[in-house]
Structure 1
Amino acid sequence: MSTDKLKLPSYGGQALIEGVLMRGKYALAAAMRSPDGQIIIETEELKGIYQSSLSKVPFFRGLILLWDALGLGTRYLTRSANLQGGEEEKIEGISLYLTLAASLAIAIGLFFLTPAAIGKAIQNLTGISSLAMNLIEGVLRLGGVILYIWGIGRIPDIQRVFAYHGAEHKTINAFEAGAELTPETVKQYPLEHPRCGTSFLLTLIILSVLVFSLVGNLPFGLLLLSRVLLIPVLAMLAYEYIRFTANHLDHPLIRWMIRPNLALQSLTTREPDSAMLEVSIASFNAMLELEKSLQEKIILPKPEPLTVSGVGGYQNPPE
């Protein structure tokens, strides 16, 4: 099987605590550096909804990405934290689910409900239009996210996570360029990547201004409820935008459009050291090996014969 068939948009990943998770279409792998210096690798086959026809439906597939971040991503982030903390500091069971629920509630409260409440209060005091209120809300949301990322980025432990984020980007960039995956080679590649979750977040925030404006002027309670209920809609729209721009990077306009997304990644990435790159490469190679073995088991449909007037063209199945 050629490497070309396994290229984008299948591959992505995320930083863990002293580790990196790499995700393909059929499998994922997480590599984590244990306190004694060993690289621990865990792999998992992606089944169920990931291989269903729903994963190919435009817009709905954005919800799967959201589940990736809330489900798979958080699960492996917790595993990496437990590996560093030891048995006595493990987070699992009911305490894990309560922590995740509380974290999600705080995030929605800070970045969706609070800006909406402030925007509504300003509207009530000044009588500005619904559009102006939504613009103020969007600016507050964007400013809050940037300030939050900047603030936590000053914490040494988070800086290491951001460095592993940079290692993940560099590894995928090197693979896409067809380079040899060694720390010496991978470190030469960019920290930024157009399909980064940071880009997804910025796109979601910008789209929120448009989507929330369409809702119109609502009473305070319904306003807050709409901000929560429309998060899945924003995720679906943001995913399709990121997917479209990532598939058309050869166009000058698209490259111009994604500049803000790439610029924001400077807050969530740091230059990794060689040991971090080793972890990221180990994760990618483990994922790639399992990905290939699983893909070889899948029987792909035979191509339909070309008609006399038809124009032939073959594309990879949509991700």
Structure 2
Amino acid sequence: MKRIDIGGQAVIEGVMMKGRDSYAIAVRKPDKEIVLDRKAYASWSKRHKVLGLPILRGAVAFLEAMVLGTKMITYSAEFFEVEEEVKKTKFDHWMDKKFGSRANDALVGISVVLAMALAFLLFFLLPLGVSQLLREHLTNPRMMNLVDGLVRILILFLYILAISRMKDIQRVFQYHGAEHKSINCVENGLDLTVENVLSQSRLHKRCGTSFLLYVVVVSVFILTIINVQTFWMRLLVRFLCFPLIAGISYEIIKLMGRFDTKAADFLSGPGMLLQRLTTKEPDAEQVAVAIAALQGVMDDERETQDRT
């Protein structure tokens, strides 16, 4: 099986595919037309060599995925806004006055910060609070950190299980499945047709769902090793260690996606199992959207190689 250095993300009625130097997003509009947007993209790790070092590149990739993913979701949502003019709020006017033509970029930045704050609250602060409440029964500080980590894993599973039952999210998860199937199709050496893509697995080793699970599991080990006892020190350690945790998780998922061995399959197993919740079987129309996005970024990557 050949590997392609392309990853993707499901958006509202569409799919975004990102290669080394570009990305393409395809969205099926309400009138059923597929609109494709292709753009060059220079990663921060390529613009600054130090950010391309192992571990650091993982933290950078995580932040870039958050920013680009938010932009793509905002872009896809624009095709489904109510056509009637919506009266601007005071916040909208303030954003326009403060940032002018860059108001949308500023809004994306605010959204990313809020999303990361919510994730930190849900997956770090809440488990920390639970372990603190149980400190009288957990005399060993490392046991407190272990319980903290187990609660974190439980929260991740319950969170994904809960959102997977929402109808709108199920549509997104179908596009997520279409994204994986199209990449699997190319990596298996098949022509990129709807029929071939539909026959592929909707699971993939390099999926963002697996990355999230690695982040949670790696955090259990890292935060159990770093043994501090007070609540505020434990909170500070979690905040400071997150880039390290994301970086290590990134290196693991890249390593697992590179090999087709039993060991790699075993280590990828839990993430692949979790993907059964975050992906759904797509229909032919959704697959066609994923193919458009993947073909778009592959064409861009080929044109870039031809120029160089």
TM-score (norm 1): 0.86
Within 5 Å, which residues of 2 pair with 1:35-54?
A: 35-47=30-42, 49-52=44-47, 53-54=49-50
Match of 2:209 among 170, 186, 198: 198
In structure 2, the residue matched to 1:136 is 147
In structure 1, the residue matched to 2:183 is 172
Q: Could you tell me how far apart the structure 1 residues matched to 2:109 and 2:206 are?
A: 28
For these two proteins, the number of residue pairs brought into alignment is 291
Which blocks of at least 5 consecutive residues in structure 2 are unaligned? 93-102
Q: Could you tell me how far apart the structure 2 residues matched to 1:137 and 1:151 are?
A: 21
Which blocks of at least 5 consecutive residues in structure 1 are unaligned? 299-319
- Give the 3 Å change call, closer, same or farther, for CA 9–282 of structure 1 in structure 2: closer
Q: Could you tell me how far apart the structure 2 residues matched to 1:296 and 1:181 are?
A: 21
In structure 2, the residue matched to 1:186 is 197
Q: Is residue 149 from structure 1 mapped to residue 160 from structure 2 by the alignment? A: yes
Q: State the superposition RMSD in angstroms.
A: 2.0
| Kept after mapping to 1: 8 A contact 2:194/2:284 | yes
Partner deviation per Cα, 1:14-61 (whole Å, 9 max, x = no partner): 101100010111111010111111111111112252533346421121
1:9 positional shift: 5.1
In structure 2, the residue matched to 1:106 is 118
Match of 2:17 among 19, 22, 26: 22
- Give the 3 Å change call, closer, same or farther, for CA 64–103 of structure 1 in structure 2: closer
Aligned residue identity for 2:199: Q
1:228 positional shift: 1.8
| Kept after mapping to 2: 8 A contact 1:119/1:134 | yes
Within 5 Å, which residues of 2 pair with 1:279-294?
A: 279-294=289-304
The alignment-based identity, stated in percent, is 35
Match of 2:8 among 10, 13, 19: 13
Partner deviation per Cα, 1:51-105 (whole Å, 9 max, x = no partner): 3334642112102321232111111111111222246569963555444433321
1:207 positional shift: 0.5
- Larger deviation, residues 79-88 vs 236-245: 79-88
- Larger deviation, residues 125-134 vs 176-185: 125-134
Match of 1:84 among 80, 84, 92: 80
Match of 1:224 among 235, 239, 261: 235
TM-score (norm 2): 0.89
1:146 positional shift: 0.9
Q: Is residue 255 from structure 1 mapped to residue 265 from structure 2 by the alignment? A: yes
- Give the 3 Å change call, closer, same or farther, for CA 112–63 of structure 1 in structure 2: same
Match of 1:297 among 296, 300, 307: 307
1:271 positional shift: 0.3
- Larger deviation, residues 212-221 vs 283-292: 212-221
1:138 positional shift: 1.1
